[in-house]
């Protein structure tokens, strides 16, 4: 058991590294230096990588090519997605050619690029004059707070001078967070009010919440669960040394569940996170008989929470096979054994008597693992899994459990 738990801990710890290493193919296009548009697939990675190179695969080709800012004029994801253009900006007091996110085009245009763990924003007017301001996170380092404050004040005055038709720009920037949303809104208002004669103001900023964070699907379903339990000898202390026989229980029960599947498209299209809640009313009989010739019965209502990951092999196809695994937490309530044989040892050891009755084990919680495989076909989710639990304190030991389910994906 310890080896299995260690395995899942290591899996959880290394999952972020695996996610970062995964590709994230997105439909899009590049703009060549001859102003031609070439459509294909872009491996859309992190901000730190996107600023230096575009991994592009033309439609019909098999291999990605790494394109630098000098190779193309820019690239964009399909559906009015994020738009990068090749442009020279000042980085550490020197000019460098890089891919900058084009946020807004107008009398004053706005760009963003990520460099050495900081976001930079470039304000460029129609004459090519630029001001670069860094989101230097004033509250992160109190030791350099005064210096950062002075640098920000100077840069905001430079932006104010660039957008000099409105002398409130610097004051307004002091009151806002330096984010793409806030700065795009500021520059757009300025362009529409003062630069209408220089052409239409075009916003390229895309919906990051929709495009690059977390997508999810919910599902509900039902199935059958096979389980087997053992009840070891149990001492009902204080009642004349009461003992009862060991029994084994097995059988199937209906199971009902709901869950959610979370995908992180920016990092991986194959690895998903899963969370699931299930309810299973077990009513299991023993193959053994008590002293009266009846079969004992074990009953319990099981509430389980499963948290894990799945690997989808063909995320773009109609039929998507997958494997999954993770941790399983269960609460068994109303756990009882009925029609079991008691053996009474009276104070006189030579006297023994038998009876049949019920033992109420109450509630117990357990933790374990689950492993499984299945397939998604359109909106239908079919899965088979195995789970094993440890930690029960009331005497009933879960041996094995297999689950077969069918669910509907929303």
For residue 342, give the CATH number of its domain: 2.40.160
Helix%, strand%, coil% for the chain, nearest 5: 20, 55, 25
How many domains in the chain? 2
Q: Which domain holds residue 277?
A: 214-409
Same domain, 402 and 322: yes
What three-state secondary structure class fits 171?
helix
Answer left, alpha or beta for residue 161, where phi above 0 means left and psi between -120 and 50 means alpha.
alpha
Mean pLDDT of 164-186: 89
Please indicate, yes or no, if residue 224 is contained in any of the structural domains: yes
Please indicate, yes or no, if residue 12 is contained in any of the structural domains: no
> In degrees to the nearest 10, what's the CA dihedral of 57, 59, 63, 67?
-20
Same domain, 133 and 171: yes
- Yes or no: say if 272 and 309 are a contact pair by the CB < 8 Å rule: yes
The average confidence (pLDDT) of the chain is: 82
Q: Spell 227-263 as b/e; 16+ CB within 10 A means b.
A: bebbbeebeeeeeeebebbebbbbbebebebebebeb
**What is the predicted pLDDT for the residue at 68?**
95
Same domain, 243 and 103: no
CA distance linking residue 218 with residue 263, whole number of Å = 12
Please indicate, yes or no, if residue 44 is contained in any of the structural domains: no
Same domain, 185 and 223: no
Higher pLDDT, 24 or 195: 195
Please indicate, yes or no, if residue 262 is contained in any of the structural domains: yes
Its pTM surpasses 0.85: no
Same domain, 151 and 221: no
Q: Which residue, 176, 195, 210, sits at the end of a domain? A: 210
**What is the predicted pLDDT for the residue at 60?**
87
List C-alpha distances in Å: 240 to 21, 67, 82, 226: 65, 84, 77, 37
- How many C-beta atoms lie closer than 10 Å to residue 76's C-beta? 20
pLDDT in tens, 223-246: 999 999 887 655 544 444 445 557
Same domain, 204 and 238: no
Evaluated on CA atoms 137, 139, 144, 148, the torsion sign reads positive
List C-alpha distances in Å: 378 to 19, 59, 321, 381, 407: 25, 25, 12, 8, 11
Please indicate, yes or no, if residue 3 is contained in any of the structural domains: no
Rg from Cα positions in the chain: 32
pLDDT in tens, 249-287: 999 999 999 999 988 765 677 889 999 999 999 999 998
Same domain, 368 and 311: yes
Same domain, 260 and 146: no
Same domain, 334 and 357: yes
Please indicate, yes or no, if residue 67 is contained in any of the structural domains: no
Query: Which two three-digit tokens encode residue 68?
Result: 């630098």
Same domain, 231 and 206: no
Q: Which residue, 210, 233, 255, sits at the end of a domain? A: 210
CA distance linking residue 109 with residue 188, whole number of Å = 9
Q: Which residue, 194, 210, 226, sits at the end of a domain? A: 210
Same domain, 361 and 222: yes
Same domain, 250 and 313: yes
What three-state secondary structure class fits 16?
helix
């Amino acid at each position: 058991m310890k080896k299995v738990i260690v395995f899942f801990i290591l899996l959880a710890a290394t999952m972020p590294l695996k996610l970062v290493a995964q590709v994230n193919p997105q439909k899009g296009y590049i703009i060549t230096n001859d102003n031609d548009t070439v459509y294909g697939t872009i491996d859309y990675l992190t901000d730190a990588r996107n600023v230096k190179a575009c991994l592009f695969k033309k439609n019909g080709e098999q291999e990605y090519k790494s394109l630098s800012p000098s190779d193309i004029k820019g690239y964009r994801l399909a559906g009015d997605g994020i738009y990068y253009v090749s442009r020279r900006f000042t980085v550490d007091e020197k000019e460098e050619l890089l891919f900058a996110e084009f946020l807004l085009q107008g009398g004053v245009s706005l760009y963003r690029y990520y460099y050495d763990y900081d976001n930079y924003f470039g304000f460029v007017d129609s004459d090519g004059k630029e001001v670069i301001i860094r989101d230097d996170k004033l509250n992160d380092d109190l030791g350099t707070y005064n210096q950062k404050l002075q640098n920000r004040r100077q840069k905001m005055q430079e932006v104010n001078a660039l957008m000099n038709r409105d002398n409130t720009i610097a004051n307004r920037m002091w009151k806002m967070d330096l984010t793409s949303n806030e700065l795009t809104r500021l520059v757009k208002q300025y362009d529409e009010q003062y630069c209408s004669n220089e052409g239409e103001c075009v916003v390229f900023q895309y919906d990051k919440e929709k495009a690059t964070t977390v997508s999810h699907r919910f599902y509900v379903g039902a199935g059958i669960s096979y389980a087997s339990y053992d009840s070891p000898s149990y001492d009902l202390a204080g009642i004349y040394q009461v003992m009862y026989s060991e029994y084994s229980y097995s059988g199937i029960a209906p199971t009902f569940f709901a869950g959610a599947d979370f995908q992180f498209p920016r990092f991986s299209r194959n690895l998903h996170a899963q969370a699931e809640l299930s309810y299973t009313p077990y009513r299991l009989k023993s193959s053994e008989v008590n002293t009266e010739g009846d079969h004992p019965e074990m009953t319990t209502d099981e509430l389980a929470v499963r948290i894990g990951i799945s690997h989808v092999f063909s995320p773009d196809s109609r039929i998507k096979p997958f494997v999954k695994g993770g941790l399983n937490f269960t609460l068994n309530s109303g756990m009882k054994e009925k029609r079991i044989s008691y053996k009474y040892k009276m104070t006189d050891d030579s006297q023994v008597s038998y009876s049949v009755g019920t033992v109420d084990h109450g509630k117990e919680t357990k933790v374990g693992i689950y492993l499984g495989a299945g397939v998604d076909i359109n909106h239908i989710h079919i899965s088979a899994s195995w789970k094993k639990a440890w930690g029960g304190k009331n005497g009933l030991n879960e041996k094995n459990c297999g689950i077969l389910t069918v669910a509907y994906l929303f």
